[in-house]
Amino acid sequence: MKTVFINNGIMRKGEPEKIAGTFEKLGVKVEVIDARKKFLDALKGITDPEEKREAITQTFYKDVFGQLVKKSGAKYLLQGTILTDIDETIAGIKRQHNVFEQLGIDTKKEFGYKIIEPVVQLRKDGVRKLGKALGLPESIYNRMPFPGPALAARVIGEANEEKIELVREATAIVEGELKNTKAFQYMAILHEDKVTGMRDGKRDFGMQIELRCWESLDARKAKPTRLPYETLEKLASRLTNEIPGVVSVTYNITTKPPSTIEAV
Amino acid sequence: MVSEIRANELDTEKFIKEKAGEISSIVGNGTALMLCLAGLILQSSRYLGIRLWAVG
C-alpha cells in the first residue's frame, strides 16, 4: 500500500506539512505530490459550483491519480466515502467528488483502477465511533470536516490563486478564533460580489466575507451556533483589518436545510 | 443501494471483521485489515487531499 498526499494548492494554511507530520507520527509514510498548478489551471475561468466540483474531480481521479496509478501499476484506490456523500450526490444537492458507482460511472474504465470504500455505510458520527473504538488519536477521529473541493468551495465564483490565498488567510483567522467553540464546523466564505465600504475616510469598494459556524451530529441537518456577539465583533475586526480588501463581514444564521453547510 | 448502519446500531468489532473479510476477497488477506483501518483514517481526516492506494 502506498500513501500519497496531493498538494492541490487549495488546502488550508500549513495543511500539507501538518498532515504529513500527523501521519508520520502514526507510522504512515506519506509521499507529497505537488499538483498545485494542475488544479489551479483546471479551475481557471470556472464560476459555476458544479463545474468547479467536476473540474476538481477530473483532475484528482483522471489526471493526478491516473498518472500515479499508471506509474505504479496499482489496481485499487482506497477512499473514505460515506453515506452522506452518496445521498447528497444522488439527490442532486451537490456532486460530491468521491461518488462514482451510484452515478453509473465505471472507475476501472474511466480512470484505470477500482475504488474501495470500507466506510460507505456509515455517516460521520458512525465513523467517529469506529475511530474511537480502534484507538485512533482524537485529533484524527474528531477532526472538523473539510470539503473535497477544499478552499475552492469557500470561494463563490472563480477560485483563482489570489482569491484562494485571501480565503486561506480568512480561514486561519476564523479557525483560530472559533477552535474552542466545539462546533461541528466553521468557515469563512469569500463572496463574488463586492460592496461599498470606507477606509481612512475614502470609498473602498471591497470584498465581503461570510462566516458560518454549525452545530450538527452527522451533517444531514445543522443549525447555526449562537456565537457570543463579542466573538463576532472580534472576527469582523480581525478580518477587515488583517486582510487587505475586505470591507464587510456577515454571519449566516440560516439552518440546514434550506442552507447547506458549505456555500459551493 | 447502500444500506445504512446508524452510529447507535454500530457494533465496531463486528464491522471491522466484516469489512476485513469483504476486502480480503478483493485484495488478499495480507492487506485487508490495513486497508480497512486506512479507510477509517481517511474518512476521519477526509478531504485533505489524502488518498491511499494499494497495489493489489
Per-residue pLDDT of chain A (264 residues; tens, 9 = 90+): 788 888 999 999 998 888 888 888 878 888 889 999 999 999 999 999 889 988 988 898 888 888 887 787 888 888 888 888 888 777 666 666 676 676 666 778 777 888 888 888 999 899 999 888 877 788 888 888 888 789 999 999 999 999 999 999 999 999 999 999 989 999 999 999 999 999 989 999 999 999 999 999 878 899 999 999 999 999 999 999 999 999 999 999 999 999 999 988
**A76/B48 touch (CB, cutoff 8 Å), yes or no:** no
**A65/B27 touch (CB, cutoff 8 Å), yes or no:** no
Chain B residues near residue A85 by CB distance under 8 angstroms: none
- From the list A148, A79, A70, A80, the residue with the least C-alpha distance to A113 is A70
**A74/B39 touch (CB, cutoff 8 Å), yes or no:** no
Nearest CB neighbour to B42, from listed A68, A80, A122: A80
**A75/B56 touch (CB, cutoff 8 Å), yes or no:** yes
Chain A residues near residue B6 by CB distance under 8 angstroms: 123, 126
Quickly tell me which residue has 500513501 as its cell. Answer: A3
Nearest CB neighbour to A131, from listed B5, B23, B40: B40
Chain B residues near residue A11 by CB distance under 8 angstroms: 48-49
Evaluate whether B46 touches A80 at the Cβ level (below 8 Å): yes
Nearest chain B residue to A69 by CA distance is B53
Evaluate whether A97 touches A148 at the Cβ level (below 8 Å): yes
Q: Is A45 left (phi over 0), alpha (psi -120 to 50) or beta?
A: left
Model confidence over B7-52: pLDDT tens digits? 999 999 899 888 877 877 776 655 555 665 666 666 555 443 444 4
Nearest chain A residue to B4 by CA distance is A121
**Enclosing H/E stretch for B47:** none
Q: Is the peptide bond before A16 cis (omega within 30 degrees of 0)?
A: no
Evaluate whether A154 touches A188 at the Cβ level (below 8 Å): yes
Angstrom CA distances, A39 to A59, A77, A164, A198, stand at 7, 20, 12, 35
